[in-house]
Amino acid sequence: MIFAKQAMLSTGWAQNVRLTVNSGVITAVDADQTSQPGDVIVDTLLPALANLHSHSFQRAMAGMTEYRMAGKDSFWTWRDLMYRFTAHLTPEHIEAIAAFVFLEMQEAGYASVGEFHYIHHQPGGTPYDDLGELSSRIAAAAAITGIGLTHLPVLYTYGGAGQVALEPGQARFGNSVDRFNELVACAQRAVSKLPADCRVGIAPHSLRATSPDDLAAVLRAHPAGPTHIHIAEQPKEVADISAWLGARPVEWLLDNVDVTNDWCLIHATHMTTGETRDMARSGAVAGLCPITEANLGDGPFNGPAYLEAGGAFGIGSDSNVLISLTEELRTLEYSQRLRDVARNVMVVGEGSVGEVLYTGAARGGAQALGRASGEIAVGQLADLVAIDSADPALCALPTHQLLDGLVFAAKDRIVTDVWSAGRHAVKGGRHVQRDQIVDGYRSAMQSLMASL
């Protein structure tokens, strides 16, 4: 039982709420109650967000790519550095880094993660004896942290648009469609040992890393979803796909594939207004990663047209250069304000920006990960976050402005408790396995840095 002085329910704010959770699912929600002995008592309870897009290993290179080199740095030079880094990662490193990253996500207020997982093989490209070795490592990191995992093994077959051969730096990612299907089966076995809310989807990496025929084949083999794809992060990607397939990436995908609400289009950054409206109408979730998109110089999302057309969106931490839920949300809004020279952009008509961002990302993130969560109601997974409304950042705000305070004025330390499908992973602002996981991460980084 959880008792909250106030809670944002699917029906709106309520006071003195008692929540019953059974097997990870909310089975009763009662307002205007008094707390009972044994209740976990919190201040303000919200539905916890899903982090819909992560490459956990990239956390380990945060801060290593911010040095300006001769010539103009770009996304593509960043990618070369990232490839060189991945050559040194062992399965033990990958597990320790993922566990630390998942811990940081939970302490920031996320209950679940979509791990878009593309390192599959040994350096040089030879598969491990167990094809699913590294998927098992991600599953082990989910097990120790208790995070709700949607594991997304990545199909990565080609080095660039037009079925170009993989570069040496991409050898650890590569699979044919047949071997990818075997890999997904391995991943499903690994994830089946986790709690029942965890699941496996698929992620064709991008249009440039697959081909139309291969994409059709994997979608036939895995019709259930969720299906995630990087779609239009960089202008060069749009130009390359246009030159090869005769249409811009979002335009081509919507015209040639049955994109439904099981889909999540990551970095739907470079879209025409027509693509933006068509994507919104498809029901797919726009997977926005505002901190990473700013860090990599990708560009701002076309938010106003997308919201106007009723599009679903969620938030991901992608490169994990910084894991902060509050900063992801405000960076999304600030990217819009800076482009439009305007205030309060991510709202249709009138309303609270914080509420639109938070509740929209809660619903869209859950949809993208295939989780029955995103709001507090009977039958939903207990993906919950408690924040402290008495924190100086929020103490002057009435309830209806709390989400604006959370998004624009607060830091992640405002989070006191997080439950992932009822697993109480963060208590008093600290992950319950923090010491062990941080020690493991420090040792892994020491070993990794010695190998560089």
Task: Return the structure tokens found at 179.
Answer: 């071997």
Residue 48 near residue 419, CB atoms below 8 Å: yes
Active-site residue among 53, 267, 270, 431? 267
Between 115 and 318, CB nearer to Zn ion: 318
Active-site residue among 43, 197, 298, 318? 318
232: which residues sit within 8 A by CB, 6+ positions away? 238, 248, 249, 250, 265, 267, 268, 269, 270, 271
Residue type, 214: D
Clarify whether 404 is annotated catalytic. Answer: no
Residues 357-386 binding Zn ion (CB under 5 A) are none
Alpha carbon distance, N-terminus to C-terminus of the chain: 49
Radius of gyration for the alpha carbons in the chain, expressed in angstroms and rounded = 21
Clarify whether 318 is annotated catalytic. Answer: yes
Between 318 and 388, CB nearer to Zn ion: 318
E strands, 196-300, are 199-200, 203-204, 227-232, 263-268, 285-288
**Helical packing angle, 133-145 and 177-191, nearest 10°:** 30
Q: Whole-number minimum distance, CB 316 to Zn ion, in Å? A: 7
Between 58 and 359, CB nearer to Zn ion: 58
Binding to Zn ion by residue 417, rule CB under 5 A? Answer: no
> Which window, 100-108, 169-177, 311-319, 431-439, contacts Zn ion (CB under 5 A)?
311-319
Closest chain position to Zn ion (CB): 318
> Which window, 190-198, 249-257, 316-324, 415-423, contacts Zn ion (CB under 5 A)?
316-324
> Which window, 213-221, 313-321, 332-340, 421-429, contacts Zn ion (CB under 5 A)?
313-321
Q: Whole-number minimum distance, CB 235 to Zn ion, in Å? A: 17
Residues 6-65 binding Zn ion (CB under 5 A) are none
C-alpha 150/C-alpha 197 separation (Å) is 9
> Tokens 């991510």 appear where?
346
Between 14 and 315, CB nearer to Zn ion: 315
Residue 176 near residue 210, CB atoms below 8 Å: no
* Of the candidate residues 318, 327, 333, 417, the single one contacting Zn ion (CB under 5 A): 318
C-alpha 385/C-alpha 112 separation (Å) is 11
Check residue 403 and give left, alpha or beta (phi > 0: left; psi -120 to 50: alpha): alpha
C-alpha 374/C-alpha 46 separation (Å) is 9
C-alpha 49/C-alpha 240 separation (Å) is 34
Between 262 and 318, CB nearer to Zn ion: 318
> Which window, 11-19, 43-51, 310-318, 333-341, contacts Zn ion (CB under 5 A)?
310-318
Between 318 and 404, CB nearer to Zn ion: 318
Residues 156-215 binding Zn ion (CB under 5 A) are none
Q: Would you tell me which residues interact with Zn ion (CB under 5 A)?
A: 318
Q: Annotated catalytic sites, by residue?
A: 267, 318
